[in-house]
Amino acid sequence: MLLLLSIIGASPSVWSQQAAEPASYGVVVSSLGGDAEYEKLIQGWGKDMAAALRKGRNAEGHVYWLAAVKEEGVHAVSSKEEIGKLFEQLAKQVRPGDSFGLFLVGHGSYDDYDYKLSIPGPDLTGQEWAELLNKIPAGRQAVVNMTSASGASLEAFQRKGRVIITSTTAGRERNFSVFGRYFVAALQDEASDSDKNQVISALEAYRYATREVTRYYETAKRIATEHPVLEDKGEGEGAREPSPENGQGLLASAFPLVRFGTGDTVAGSPEVQELRAAKRTLEESIEALKYRKAGMDTEEYAKELESLLLELSRTQIKLDDLEGQ
């Protein structure tokens, strides 16, 4: 009775906090592109990542995309100043019962001392990113670093109770990473929900993306220059294949990235699925062309690149129209 009276007598704000369902927050940060082809890919992956996260239940109004290029849907330019402002805001807004994810996309670097994400103006080091993240009170946190050299950021981000995913094992893997493309695809494809509970967990998305990265390099007949890692014990170097035997993946399996259900789907219509597949094929073609650039005539390379980028733009426009982005 006393408990009931105390709840009835509570202020509306206290009541709303008690009754509110935990929210899912996400911050997506896209790096500078450098070359035109990379700018197109990185901007597109950031956009798709934010869109996929926004479609999950409990995420409405809680997903922020910062990018080097300002466009519709971008919260702010991905500069050190704007990133700091957003994290200050979220440090006050996010509750301990909420979940929080940080998703880094694009070009990273490692100089044998610091990991950095390439952003407009001064770059943020891995330690500076970790300091920002440590101010967020959410009890459940995940960092998905899909950039080149991202393995060098693992130690800085590491903390008990936090899921860490990097697209490379170490900072020395400095080539452009394709892991981001397939991690986004995992959040768009219900097939990645392996246990069919209408939730795509961090572990399920990691496994889906890792399989696709392997397929990509095998199909292209290239030596893999990135080896994704997952670490969620708060210690050690993580594992490329999380399992009960190595103790990695337990937290990640319980960390929801996208919740769907009640008739909603993340897969979309057959036409949307077909366009997404076409988009990934075009992106793979752009990277294959980039790989062959050294042995091509300059004019021939520029002509083929322009054709692929135009087709990619047309495909993206069709997707945006169908998905209402």
Poorest-confidence range of 132-141, 175-184, 252-261?
Answer: 252-261
* Statement: residue 2 has pLDDT above 50: no
Poorest-confidence range of 35-39, 123-127, 180-184, 268-272?
Answer: 268-272
Q: What pLDDT, on the 0 to 100 scale, is given for residue 11? A: 40
Q: What pLDDT, on the 0 to 100 scale, is given for residue 25? A: 95
Q: What pLDDT, on the 0 to 100 scale, is given for residue 320? A: 75
Q: What pLDDT, on the 0 to 100 scale, is given for residue 304? A: 82
Mean pLDDT of the chain: 86
What is the percent of the chain with per-residue pLDDT over 70, rounded to a whole number? Answer: 88
* Statement: residue 190 has pLDDT above 90: no
pLDDT digits (tens, 9 = 90+) for 94-110: 999 999 999 999 999 99
Task: Over range 166-192, report the average pLDDT.
Answer: 93
pLDDT digits (tens, 9 = 90+) for 145-155: 999 999 999 99
* Statement: residue 4 has pLDDT above 50: no
Q: What pLDDT, on the 0 to 100 scale, is given for residue 57? A: 61
- Give the chain as a 3 state SS string: CHHHHHHHCCCHHHHHHHHCCCCEEEEEEECCCCCHHHHHHHHHHHHHHHHHHHCCCCCCCCEEEEECCCCCCCCEECCHHHHHHHHHHHHHHCCCCCEEEEEEEECEEECCCCEEECCCCCCEEHHHHHHHHHCCCCCEEEEEEEECCHHHHHHHHCCCCEEEEECCCCCCCCCCCCHHHHHHHHHHCHHHCCCCCCEEEHHHHHHHHHHHHHHHHHHHCCCCCCCCEEECCCCCCCECCCCCCCCCCHHHHCCEEEECCCCCCCCCCHHHHHHHHHHHHHHHHHHHHHHHHHHCCHHHHHHHHHHHHHHHHHHHHHHHHHHCC
Q: What pLDDT, on the 0 to 100 scale, is given for residue 8? A: 36
Task: Over range 246-275, report the average pLDDT.
Answer: 77
pLDDT band at 227; cut points 50, 70, 90: very high
* Statement: residue 20 has pLDDT above 60: no
Task: Over range 236-265, report the average pLDDT.
Answer: 84
What is the percent of the chain with per-residue pLDDT over 90, rounded to a whole number? Answer: 59
Better-predicted residue by pLDDT, 260 or 81: 81
Q: What pLDDT, on the 0 to 100 scale, is given for residue 128? A: 96
Q: What pLDDT, on the 0 to 100 scale, is given for residue 307? A: 86
This prediction has a pTM of: 0.83
Task: Over range 227-242, report the average pLDDT.
Answer: 94
Q: What pLDDT, on the 0 to 100 scale, is given for residue 263? A: 41
Better-predicted residue by pLDDT, 189 or 129: 129
pLDDT band at 279; cut points 50, 70, 90: confident
